[in-house]
């Protein structure tokens, strides 16, 4: 018997970042939108402890040791329920690695839900969300999906209404960016400036609720974008290529380096994807639609 869970990637349609806190994290107003790029995590009983395997185009970049969030999720759940984490976790990876799309977080949330179902632990949603928050700031959202405002370090979620489909194009970069490094660069660039408290932008929330892509396009912001561009200046060429191809908005996804392009409809997304693919400014291009459902057990 095994259990497979499908988990979406995310893009941040607003990422407002406050000053560094004493614990090193940053308070955020983080508007997450789940999109239809997925990892699938399969949990199978194992006699001999915890094992992680991975397949997919980026599989060679995925750590298979206990630093993998999927492994940490299984260990955290097993410890709470006083059992051994004897499980084989297989990750079919489609979300870009180190890309700013919460791929690692998706695997953590997916493994947690898969082990909960496999072991019959029956942890409630609140308990699963608590474990997710311990695993990482973006992990609770991977469980919940849809759209949500994350406050605190991003882990405290308020679900948001989404009134229609949003069509996206994602350009995958040649190399990854480390999230802590991007936050450190944010701190360096912010030095000597007054950083306001991060607050959710009503225009972003209204655009999501109406399903209005044109309104969302003028409202999207990402406070980590200057830091990501500072560490990876070539991303500026990718953003320019997508804008020239007719994207309504072009931005860095989260801490990057994946760049995200909002399109009017599926046809336009496919056209922009074609132009980006031919532009030579990125490694690969994907299209996706949001909002997508959160972590889901597959039959
Ligand atoms: O929570 P998570 O493990 O995903 O965070 C990775 C790193 O990103 C943290 O160690 C921290 O450097 C940075 N971070 C931050 N503020 C947040 C979220 C993440 O500074 N709200």
**Is 72 among the domain residues?**
yes
pLDDT above 90 for 98? no
Predicted confidence band of residue 109 (pLDDT cuts 50, 70, 90) = very high
pLDDT tens track for 244-293: 999 999 999 999 999 999 999 999 999 999 999 999 999 999 999 999 99
**Is 136 among the domain residues?**
yes
| CA 25–ligand 1 middle distance (angstroms) | 6
pLDDT above 90 for 158? yes
Find the domain containing 101 and state its range: 3-160
Looking at residues 96-108, what average pLDDT do you find? 94
Residue whose token pair is 């079919």: 92
**Residue 137 Cβ contacting ligand 1 at under 6 Å:** yes
**Is 182 among the domain residues?**
yes
Nearest residue by C-alpha to atom 19 in ligand 1: 25
247 plus 263 within the same structural domain:
yes
Q: Has 271 been annotated as catalytic?
A: no
CA 37 to chain CA centroid, Å, is: 10
CATH code at position 151: 3.30.230.10
Residue to mutate (ligand 1; options 100, 106, 153; most atoms within 8 A of CB): 153
Residue 141: helix, strand or coil by DSSP?
helix
pLDDT above 90 for 75? yes
* Ramachandran class of 130: left when φ > 0, alpha when ψ lies in -120 to 50, beta otherwise: alpha
Give the nearest ligand 1 atom to 154 CA: 21
Q: Measured on CA atoms in the order 92, 63, 148, 218, is the torsion positive or negative?
A: negative
**Residue 180 Cβ contacting ligand 1 at under 6 Å:** yes
**Is 27 among the domain residues?**
yes
Bridge-based pairing of strands 296-298 and 3-20 is antiparallel
What's the rounded Cα separation, in Å, for the pair 76 and 237?
Answer: 42
Looking at residues 168-180, what average pLDDT do you find? 95
37 plus 149 within the same structural domain:
yes
What's the rounded Cα separation, in Å, for the pair 67 and 150?
Answer: 24
143 plus 172 within the same structural domain:
no
How is residue 13 written in tokens?
Answer: 């349609």
**Is 256 among the domain residues?**
yes
Mention every residue, 6+ apart, whose C-beta is less than 8 A from residue 22. none
User: According to the model, what pLDDT value does residue 182 have?
Assistant: 97
pLDDT above 90 for 48? no
Residue to mutate (ligand 1; options 25, 68, 231; most atoms within 8 A of CB): 25
| CA 229–ligand 1 middle distance (angstroms) | 18
User: Using omega within 30 degrees of 0 as the cis cutoff, is the peptide bond preceding 256 cis?
Assistant: no
pLDDT tens track for 4-34: 999 999 999 999 999 999 999 999 999 999 9
- Average of per-residue pLDDT values in the chain: 97
Among residues 184, 241, 230, 171, which one has the least CA distance to residue 11? 171
Please give the full DSSP string across 37-79, using - where no structure is assigned.
EEEEEEEEE-SSS-EEEEESTTGGGS--STTSHHHHHHHHHHH
**Is 299 among the domain residues?**
no
- DSSP class of residue 214? H
Q: Has 10 been annotated as catalytic?
A: yes
pLDDT tens track for 215-254: 999 999 999 999 999 999 999 999 999 999 999 999 999 9
User: According to the model, what pLDDT value does residue 299 have?
Assistant: 84
| CA 260–ligand 1 middle distance (angstroms) | 21
């Amino acid at each position: 018997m095994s259990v497979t869970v499908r988990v979406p990637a995310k893009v941040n349609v607003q990422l407002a970042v406050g000053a560094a806190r004493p614990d090193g994290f940053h308070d955020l107003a983080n508007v997450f939108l789940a999109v239809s790029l997925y990892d699938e995590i399969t949990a199978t009983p194992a006699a001999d402890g915890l094992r992680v395997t991975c397949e997919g185009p980026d599989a060679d970049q995925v750590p298979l040791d206990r630093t993998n969030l999927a492994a940490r999720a299984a260990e955290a759940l097993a410890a709470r329920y006083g059992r051994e984490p004897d499980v084989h976790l297989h990750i079919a990876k489609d979300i870009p690695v180190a890309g700013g799309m919460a791929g690692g977080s998706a695997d953590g949330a997916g493994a947690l839900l898969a082990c909960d179902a496999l072991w019959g632990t029956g942890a409630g949603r609140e308990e699963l969300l608590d474990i997710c928050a311990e695993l990482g700031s973006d992990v609770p959202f991977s469980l919940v999906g849809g759209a949500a405002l994350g406050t605190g370090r991003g882990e405290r979620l308020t679900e948001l209404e989404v009134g229609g489909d949003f069509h996206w194009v994602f350009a995958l970069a040649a190399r990854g960016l480390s999230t802590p490094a991007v936050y450190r660069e944010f701190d360096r660039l912010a030095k000597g400036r007054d950083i306001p408290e991060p607050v959710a932008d009503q225009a972003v929330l209204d655009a999501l609720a109406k399903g209005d892509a044109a309104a969302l396009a003028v409202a999207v912001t990402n406070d980590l974008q200057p830091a990501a561009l500072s560490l990876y200046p070539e991303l500026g060429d990718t953003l320019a290529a997508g804008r020239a191809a007719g994207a309504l908005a072009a931005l860095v996804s989260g801490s990057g380096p994946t760049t995200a392009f909002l399109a009017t409809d599926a046809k336009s997304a496919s056209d922009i994807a074609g132009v980006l693919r031919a532009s030579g400014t990125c490694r690969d291009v994907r299209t996706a639609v949001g909002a997508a459902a959160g972590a889901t057990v597959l039959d």
